[in-house]
Structure 1
Amino acid sequence: MTKTEFLDTLRLKLEGEVPVSEIDSTIRYYDEYISETVGRGESESKVLEELGSPLLIARTIIDTSARQEGNNRKTPYNSKEEAEQDRVRYYHLNVNRGMAKLTAVLIFVAVLALAATVLRILIPLLLPILLIGIIAAIFQNGGRRR
């Protein structure tokens, strides 16, 4: 993708979704950013790759613009709780069920391995102490059971 294709795609996606002034400032910003970065020696393709998809950038701008327009329409009678709700952000982590199961199994196996390692270290230390304690208890009672 070239700089021109990137900017054209971005403009087409934004048209009709956000004000023209916002489209112009966005296109100007990305045009200047790409030009400056390329001027510093980066390749145009690398800069565009680092920026990512112009469609995703446009979607972010559209969502941000819609949220700002919604905030501008608020009445002064909104409660503090409503104002706090607007600041809450929700994130959705899209995880494949198979990957989630695999992760759970790996965590379970890791916990079992850790427990086995701890027991392998503690048993040789605690077993002699336990045997000495049992033998001492037998001699204290004179070898008799109660």
Structure 2
Amino acid sequence: MNKDEFLRRLEEALSGEVPASVIRDNLNYYADYLSQELGKGRTMDEIIEEIGEPNIVARTIIDSAEAAGETGDGYGSFEDASPRGDDRRSTYSQESYQNGSTPNIHYFDLNKWYWKLALVVLLFLVISVVFSIMGGVFYLLIRFSGPILMCLIIYWLVKNFRGR
């Protein structure tokens, strides 16, 4: 297995499991690491024996991302327009990552604790408003129930006694 094959298999294993930024960061890290180690005269087999197969490395990255609250968001890979003009799925290309030509993907990770807290607070506020409105309606009904009930009794009495 060569460096590009390792990185391609790593990207495939991570795709859909972690955010694109995590994939990009790890591909850049392993590309640099492999380049340094190969530059020292080590073989790919030695390096892979040390760090593990791409799917094992990917499993470690996925577990770390889950522990950090960065779960898959459907952006595991990004669409890139090819020079021919058709869309194709992007695979690792050392030049594109080094030149910074990869697109920046912005997403909101709603699995973070502060988003969950915000959702709970928002839900509490909505429930509070609903109960306040219902309480106001019941307050008005109870406040005016005496006069309304009195008018209904008078109407009933007038209607029944007039008919006799």
Give the TM-score of the pair, scaled to structure 1.
0.47
Give the TM-score of the pair, scaled to structure 2.
0.42
- Which of the pair has the greater relative contact order for Cα pairs under 8 Å at 6+ separation? 2
- Which structure shows the bigger proportion of residues in helix conformation? 1
